[in-house]
Structure 1
Amino acid sequence: MAGRNGRTVRDLRRANRGAVLQRLYFDGPLSRFELGPATGLSSGSVSNVVADLIGDGLVEEAGSVDSDGGRPRTLLRVTPDSGHMIGVDVGETRVRVELFDLTLTELARAERPLEQQRYEVDVIVDHIHAGITEVLTAAGLAPERLLGVGIGVPGIVEHTPDRGAVVHGQTIGWDAVALESLLRSGSPLPDGVPRFIDNGARTLGQAEMWFGAGRGARNALVVLFGSGVGACLVTPEAEHGRAVEWGHLTVRVRGRRCRCGALGCLEAYAGAESLLARWREEGGRAPRDADEETALTAMLAAAYPPDGTAADPVALAVLEETAEYLGAGLSDLINLFQPERILMGGWAGLQLGARFLPAVRKHALSYALRHPAENVTIELGSLGPDAVTVGAAILPLADFFARGGRRPDPDPESPPPAWRRALRERAPH
């Protein structure tokens, strides 16, 4: 039965369960008494919801605390092993797969290196399948127990009704790749396990906003600085974040050619790939046949020698120029969105780290309008190199909370999705 606002009793119960679960998840352990003010629910509603969640094995007792003049209050927390998620980071140098319990404690991980500039779709799909099998086997977990798999990818992700998630990755040569359909074909997981595919910058932003340096901010930008650059915008209107193709803003007319094919993109100057290319072009001695992470480490050691020897002036000049381009790019974000916080993450951003950030900050604030520049802080992300996989695992977790801690029930009356019909048609008869 639906009420005046169109919400049914089932909707209300789901929302109440979700509210209690989230408060315990982020702020627990909490007592039933504390859950009332934290969720806005009556004491009777809290008792009913908690009993329901305990019965489902999602919540458990976690000791007690003394109360003012009364009986000790029992504390409650989310049961860690009551649900599991997998996060996948399709990065520039590797595919990383991690298995987490419901509290995002890592249980197992697998990594598959990628050859430089090689983004063959079939290889990526095989790496993801093999990684999922490896982490489930290592943890001894049945695939049916997963709440879902989240996958962060480079490029624009389009969610279509007929082919699921489709990736438009111009910089890596992916033209409308129906990744969700491909991942379900030959998957080690049952059809009922949801897959959530999104831009890697958005999953990074999701992780930093939930658990990292973005907590408490209403308006924030989380920047992914890797081979290329991207960003995730978080506002009250887009509280779960929105990927922004920031790397393809034009910063120099008729400038360097970007790997997307255009001229003068920020990514052609500020991404790790272009940074290293400019060092080599200026005569820098990058190690032969090294991957980008190893080469960037060598460049940093040349620019900032740890033993006090003279710095390589070429490496230092390229890094300083990159800091100015990156700062100028951040000033565009400051002027456009007026965030209260900007966080820089991604493997290259973390590797450049605190030594690089002051110069980036100085240039960003000098290029930006004075008022928004005075109200923004620019810092490093706090979750380290696993932030994209953590954020990817948050995608099924957020969906689980939105459903009040209930797994999706397949509707036998509904027609099968298009990706499933396509697989059946392709199967040999």
Structure 2
Amino acid sequence: MPRQTSRDLRNESRFEVLHALFELGPSTRQELAKHTGLSTATVATLVAEFLSEGVLRIATVERSTVGRPYERLDIDPDRGRIVGVDVAETYVDATVFDVALGPLGHGEVALDEHENSQAYVVDGIVRAIESAVEASKTGRDSILGVGVSMPGQVRPDAGVSVFAPNWDWHDVRIEELLEERLGIAVYVDNPLKAVALSEMWFGVGRTTDSMVVVNLGTGVGAGIAVEGSLLRGAANNAGEWGHTLLQLDGRQCRCGRLGCVEAYLGVHGLEMSLAEIDPKHPALRQPLQRGFVDAVADGLAAGDPALTELARRTAHYLAAALGDLVNLLNIPTVTLTGWTSAALAEWLIPAVRDELPDHVLPGSLPGLTVEVTYVPGNAVALGMAAFTLEQFLGRLGLASPASTPNARRRLRSPA
């Protein structure tokens, strides 16, 4: 690890102050110092920088019975607007946020999961963003940046979608394509990093600094934070848990390997499991993935025996795969997110909790929790908005590098 410089430490201190304001709400300088562990003098200097750039504002001036009045500070939501975008194989979900990361407007576009051209996907992203901007009544000149999560392997430092297996994309310069269409600065990243950041800022990260955020949907993966730092890996590929081995010589995975976790816990994996249980089940006639998952949830609520067996098998696979993650990382907190998790969590989580002791080493069991996320709205879009806020602060010279890639570059404004 490179040695930290005084500039690095100053940037991390800025992040701590900003994070504290998201967590605490309007706060005094003394409250921020107590929460972050920074000195009052350091907090006062950093607050002055934020105030000078309009990122913070004085919310109230309060008077005590003795002494000078004191100021309560908060993030100025009207400093500008940020768009967070979740791009998956079946949809694009866009949300406009204020600088305090409060949602203002939403837009969603369905994608044909059998269509994979770059032009088609870019057009869907642009339409979703335009819909969200219109819904939020936002002027384009107030948008500070757009954060776009892309499935598969992404290099944020280069703005490139390195490999999206479901689309057969290789080295697509997605950031440039979007900036040409939007005329707005764009930052791209991977959804696993986005869900981890949203959990760090707005979910269980408020009570623990080490966690795994498991995303279940078309694909499967894990966002990982250790001791308050987002784990990226050398090429931003940390968290590809869906392409670790669950069954030797098992099912074919879309990545080309046999027996991956995703081949059992992704939507296609669930379809294969149900086909093994009841090959003529009506849920298998659903043409789209979301329709299939909704049919499974409805059938479970109605007590369908085939779908009850599907839930049992899926929980068994999930417990075994999570056991490997916990044993490898000794992480105390597992959070489930993603649209499959949202639909099926009430049947999966209790069974996973019951079975996890069979897969986790005894020393890692005390205090281990498995929960569905309570991050509001779309966690991927929220995480991408938080990344984009960090990028904006960097452009102001107020970088907060606790989660952005080491090979960081500032967002460039399109010509």
Same-fold call, TM > 0.5? yes
Other-structure match for 1:259:
254
Within the alignment, does 1:216 sit opposite 2:198 as a pair?
A: no
Listed as ranges, the matches of 1:287-306 within 5 Å are 288-305=285-302
Shifted more, 117-126 versus 42-51: the winner is 42-51
Listed as ranges, the matches of 1:339-418 within 5 Å are 339-383=331-375, 386-401=378-393
Other-structure match for 2:182:
188
Whole-angstrom distance in 1 between the partners of 2:309 and 2:93: 33
Whole-angstrom distance in 2 between the partners of 1:188 and 1:240: 30
Deviation, structure 1 residue 142: 3.7
Deviation, structure 1 residue 68: 6.0
* Percentage of matched positions with identical amino acids: 33
Question: SS in structure 2 opposite 1:70?
Answer: coil
Whole-angstrom distance in 2 between the partners of 1:369 and 1:38: 34
Deviation, structure 1 residue 287: 6.5
Task: Indicate how the Cα distance of structure 1 residues 66 and 276 shifts in structure 2: closer, same or farther if over 3 A, else same.
Answer: farther
Within the alignment, does 1:125 sit opposite 2:125 as a pair?
A: no
Q: 1:113 aligns with which of 104, 110, 114?
A: 110
Structure 1 unmatched runs, 5+ = 306-310, 408-416, 425-429
| Contact 1:21/1:405 (<8 A) preserved | no
Whole-angstrom distance in 1 between the partners of 2:21 and 2:376: 25
Whole-angstrom distance in 1 between the partners of 2:313 and 2:40: 59
Equivalent AA in structure 1 for residue 274 of structure 2: W
Shifted more, 228-237 versus 64-73: the winner is 64-73
Deviation, structure 1 residue 345: 0.7
Q: 1:143 aligns with which of 140, 144, 149?
A: 140
TM norm structure 1 = 0.82
**Deviation sequence 1:8-49 (CA, Å, 0-9, x none):** 7xx898676655444333323112343444456665665555
Whole-angstrom distance in 1 between the partners of 2:309 and 2:174: 41
Listed as ranges, the matches of 1:198-217 within 5 Å are 198-217=189-208
Other-structure match for 2:402:
none
Within the alignment, does 1:226 sit opposite 2:221 as a pair?
A: no
Shifted more, 96-105 versus 47-56: the winner is 47-56
Other-structure match for 2:165:
170
Task: Indicate how the Cα distance of structure 1 residues 304 and 139 shifts in structure 2: closer, same or farther if over 3 A, else same.
Answer: closer
Deviation, structure 1 residue 236: 2.8
| Contact 1:58/1:82 (<8 A) preserved | yes
Deviation, structure 1 residue 238: 3.6
Within the alignment, does 1:278 sit opposite 2:273 as a pair?
A: yes
Whole-angstrom distance in 2 between the partners of 1:170 and 1:301: 30
Deviation, structure 1 residue 152: 1.4
Equivalent AA in structure 2 for residue 314 of structure 1: A
Listed as ranges, the matches of 1:39-78 within 5 Å are 46-47=43-44, 49-67=46-64, 69-78=66-75
Equivalent AA in structure 2 for residue 346 of structure 1: G
Higher CA-based Rg: 1
Task: Indicate how the Cα distance of structure 1 residues 19 and 375 shifts in structure 2: closer, same or farther if over 3 A, else same.
Answer: closer
Equivalent AA in structure 2 for residue 228 of structure 1: G
Q: 2:174 aligns with which of 176, 179, 183?
A: 179
Deviation, structure 1 residue 247: 0.9
**Deviation sequence 1:216-238 (CA, Å, 0-9, x none):** 32221000011221101111384
| Contact 2:150/2:161 (<8 A) preserved | no
| Contact 1:257/1:268 (<8 A) preserved | yes
Task: Indicate how the Cα distance of structure 1 residues 52 and 343 shifts in structure 2: closer, same or farther if over 3 A, else same.
Answer: closer
Deviation, structure 1 residue 370: 1.5
Question: SS in structure 1 opposite 2:350?
Answer: helix
Other-structure match for 2:405:
none
Deviation, structure 1 residue 93: 2.1
| Contact 2:199/2:205 (<8 A) preserved | yes
Whole-angstrom distance in 1 between the partners of 2:267 and 2:275: 12
Whole-angstrom distance in 2 between the partners of 1:371 and 1:171: 38
Structure 2 unmatched runs, 5+ = 400-408
Deviation, structure 1 residue 136: 2.9
Equivalent AA in structure 2 for residue 170 of structure 1: P
Whole-angstrom distance in 1 between the partners of 2:161 and 2:339: 25
Task: Indicate how the Cα distance of structure 1 residues 304 and 17 shifts in structure 2: closer, same or farther if over 3 A, else same.
Answer: closer
Question: SS in structure 1 opposite 2:204?
Answer: coil
Whole-angstrom distance in 1 between the partners of 2:305 and 2:359: 25
Other-structure match for 2:91:
94
TM norm structure 2 = 0.84
Task: Indicate how the Cα distance of structure 1 residues 50 and 203 shifts in structure 2: closer, same or farther if over 3 A, else same.
Answer: closer
Q: CA RMSD in A?
A: 3.1
Equivalent pairs, count: 396
Question: SS in structure 1 opposite 2:255?
Answer: coil
